[in-house]
Every structure is written in C-alpha cells, then in structure tokens.
Amino acid sequence: MSATAAGILFTGSLVLALALAYRPLGDYMYRVFTGTKHSRVERGIYRLIGARPDTEQTWAVYARSVLAFSMVSVLFLYGFQRLQNHLMLSLGFKPVVTHQAWNTAISFVTNTNWQSYSGESTMGHLVQMAGLAVQNFVSAAVGIAVAIVLVRGFARKTTELLGNFWVDLVRCVLRILLPFAFVAAIVLVIGGAVQNFHDPHTIQTLAGAKQAITGGPVASQEAIKELGTNGGGFYNANSAHPFENPTVWTNWLEIFLLLVISFSLPRTFGRMVGNNKQGYAIVAVMATLAVVSVTLISFFQLAHHGTVPTAIGSAMEGVETRFGVPNSATFADATTLTSTGAVNSFHDSYTSLGGMMTMFNMMLGEVAPGGTGSGLYGMLILAVITVFVAGLMVGRTPEYLGKKISSREIKFASMYFLITPICVLVGTAFAMALPGERAAMLNRGPHGLSEVLYAFTSASNNNGSAFAGITVNTAWYDTALGLAMATGRFLPMIFVLGLAGSLARQGQTPASEGTLPTHRPQFIGMVAGVTVILVALTFLPALALGPLAEGIH
C-alpha cells in the first residue's frame, strides 16, 4: 500500500470514528451539564471547598471563580515544583528553577502545556502525577465550563444567572474526563505504554555509554493529555517516545482522543439551544476547515520539492519511522487544530509550507475543532462576527439564535478575537528586536523568524507545541511566554463570559423573513470564509517574512 493510500485509510477511519461518537458523547455531555441531581461524592467535594451547588452565579461571579481557582492552581503547582526535592518519588531531582517553575505552572494551568524542560530528567513522579496530570484534568474542565456558560447565554432568556462554576468543574472532571481517561489509560497500557513508579534504570548502550531510562505513571498522564487537549509529555520526545506512544494503533487512538470531545461539543450546544441543526452547522464548519488543513499538510509533506524528499517520496526528516509521514502529518495537524500541542514528529523539520500549516492552524484560533471547550466558544464567537457582518450587508440588526448582536455583543467578540494576535505579534517583535534573544536563535533568516513566531503563536493560543531551534529555557523567554499564555487564556475567557451575560439578559427574538438562516450550507461557508479571511489579514505579513519566504527561496 502506498503512503498516500495508507494516509487516506488512517484519516478516513478517524473521521468515521468521530462521526460515530458525535451523537452519543454530545448527548451524554448535555445530560451532565443540564442535570439537577448531585452525587454523594460531588456533594462531599462541595462541602469540602465551601461551594453552594444549588446557587447559580452571574457572569462576573463566574469569571471571578475561574480566575481565583486558576490563581490558586498556579501557586500550588509553582510551589510543588520548587519543593519537589523534599517530596517522595522525587527521583533525586533538584527543585525546578524559579523562572522555569513559573513558566510550567502557568503553562499547565492555562491548558498550554508548553515545556522548556525534559520531563524525564526534571520532574519526579509525584510532581508529574499529582501536579501536572491533575492540572491536565482541571484546566480542560475549566475550558469546557466556560463554553457551556456561553451556550447557556444563547439558551436562556431575561436572566443574570448562568450556572455555578464549581458544579460545572466538578461534574466535568468526575463524570466526563476521569472515566474516559481511565479507560483510555488501560487501553494504552495494553498497547505497550509504561505505567509504574520505578526509579530510572541505568543501561549500557551499543556504543558503550551509560544511559538512564526513566519509567513512571506514563499511560495515565498520556490519556488525559490527549483527551483534555493538554499536550504536555512525560518525556521530552513527547508522543514520539515509545513509552508514551508504542504503536501505529495507539497513535490512531491518541489522535482520536484529542479530537473526540471538541468535535462532540457542538452536539451538546445544539441540544442546549433546542436546535440540533445549529450543532450540525458548527461541526460542519469545524470539519470543513479540518479536512482542508489535513489535506494540505499531508500534500506538503508527501510531495515536497527537493532532491532527498523527491527521491524517497516524502519529507522524512524528524519523522518517527514507526508512524511514517501520513500518520505524523495527521497527528501534527490535529494537535495544532486543537490546543493539544502533543507531537509525534519534529515540527521544526517539516517542510516550509508544512510547518506554515501548523502555524496557520493555531492562528485560526484553534477552532477546527479547537481545545476542549475553547474550540466551541471560539467558533461561536466567529459565528457572532459572521452574522454581524451579514447584518451590515443587508442593512438590518443581526441576530443569532434569537439574540440580537448589538454594539455591546460585538465589542466582546472583537476584543476576544484581537487579544491573541496582539500577544503573538508583539511578543515576536520584542524577541526579534532584543539582541540577547536573537543570539539565542540557532537559525537565521526566514526560518529563525518562523521559530520565534511559532513559539509566541503556540503560547498565546495555548497550544504548547514548538518549532525548537531557539533556546527558550531562559529567564526572558520563560517569563515572556508565560505572560503570553496567561493573557491568551484568561482575557478571552472573560470576554466570552461577558458576552454570555449580555446574551442571557436578552429575551428571545422570533425569526422573521429577514432572519439569516444559520444552519444552512450558505452560513457554514460564510463562517469558514470569515475565519480564514480574518486570520489572513492579521498574520499574512508575518507569514510572508517567515515560512512563505523560506518556501519560495
């Protein structure tokens, strides 16, 4: 079987599996977030944290709860790393240095999971398991909770109340993420992923040198890192490491895990607003963008110009031979279309245009299907912008799902969209302008700019993957990228929650002859077009100086 045919079969089976999961998983999440009963375990947790589960919150109180929980999480994870040498299962590792501990704490709390360290030689088992992996669960749950609040804003009428953050958080972790991650971890162990608490084993290599091989609770972290679109690897090689991702079928499973919740949430959205066609429209936009993206990146990797790639039929540099180009390209596309950031190949070794596609995926706002929760609320923001533009074209007040999109709503949507490009472009400009930071670059010219642009794109969009080629474990980069992660995560969330509050206060405007249908192919094409055009207008100059210039050269 040719590489192209194998890639089509691999991707086609993924599409089929995701289509089969869409309805049952989406309906299950709908029941989780609309149910009124609390389990005994949940009530115990509420009493422990002092939450009142039967009391709903306004958008401002909900936002304060999100920020307070996240701030405490950052402080806890920072302290955990700084004190790890005093903890059990530390493997004798030293405390993580201050700027790196700050960067890592922000990274995992914001669902970015950017790593400026090698996990197997920096973090002990307890920090990996009780620090990083725990944040993989709760940061994913926070994103889903914020998305559900925006959906409630569309679904509810003339109210200030949008749910309870602590209830949404606990239910998401206990009823969705934990059970699915538990099953996935067992399957990964069956596939050969490591799960133990062993100290490093010292072995002698074929060249006669000695090497320490670290085990640990890998499969359990691998499962939630993909399911929660987190991406932080137990090992520096991430999902290219055979202890994390042993075989082709576990590679398929990991891609499925990182896509399944985000692709199923539109079904939950459709159920909550009482119109499943709206859910189908949103998932159709996501799927259209995803199919085009994976086709392009696979083409660029399989049919690139150049003597060596042409001779072997593809660009194999930096690709794990167990997976080959099609599987690696699909993984790279899925991980940058979501906010996962896990990698099973070296993105810095991709062709110039293939690497550009990974950046472009993140610049889209990671909405096809995006991270757990963040993909859905990002796509709904783009839908709001689309109906606003369409309303201006026909000269009537735009409406979406019976809610008028006035100046207040479009301000929230516009501020949401502008935050990430500002972080990306300003951060890249500073890094390129400072002589010391330019000196940290191993590459010059367009590729060097691409590496810096990729780093700030990844951080600001809470992705976490990297082009490498630059020394990011410095005080400046750890601090700057940490600020980009925090700003790119929490400011958009505040704007989403503000938009939800504004929508919920409205009544329901009945549809009329002049109402734009938002479930038909015309609207699907409009949203996809607006998404691509906004990104092109914003980032094309930077892309032209980086990957496009490299590709033309």
The end-to-end CA distance of the chain, in Å, is 33
Asked if the structure places residue 480 within a domain, the reply is yes
User: Residue 1: what pLDDT?
Assistant: 57
How does pLDDT run across 312-351, given as a tens digit for each residue? 555 667 787 788 888 898 999 999 999 898 998 888 888 8
Of all residues in the chain, what percent carry a pLDDT higher than 90?
Answer: 66
Burial 453-490 (b: 16+ CB within 10 A, else e): bbbbbbbbbbbbbbbbbbebbbeebbebbbbbbbbbbb
**Beta-strand (E) ranges in 251-324?**
none
Residue whose token pair is 């609309």: 34
Position 520, amino acid: R
User: Residue 308: what pLDDT?
Assistant: 47
Asked if the structure places residue 460 within a domain, the reply is yes
How does pLDDT run across 431-451, given as a tens digit for each residue? 888 887 766 677 777 888 888
CA distance 321 to 307: 20
Asked if the structure places residue 451 within a domain, the reply is yes
84: nearest Cα among 61, 71, 101, 70: 101
| Contact between 252 and 270 (Cβ < 8 Å) | no
User: Residue 194: what pLDDT?
Assistant: 92
Q: What are phi and psi of 370, to 5 degrees?
A: 85, 180
CA distance 465 to 238: 10
Residue 11: is its pLDDT beyond 50? yes
Residue 429 lies in domain: 372-552
Q: How many CB atoms lie within 10 A of CB 403?
A: 24
Q: How many domains does the chain have?
A: 1
Asked if the structure places residue 61 within a domain, the reply is no
Asked if the structure places residue 306 within a domain, the reply is no
Q: What is the pTM of this model?
A: 0.94
Asked if the structure places residue 457 within a domain, the reply is yes
CA distance 399 to 387: 7
Asked if the structure places residue 538 within a domain, the reply is yes
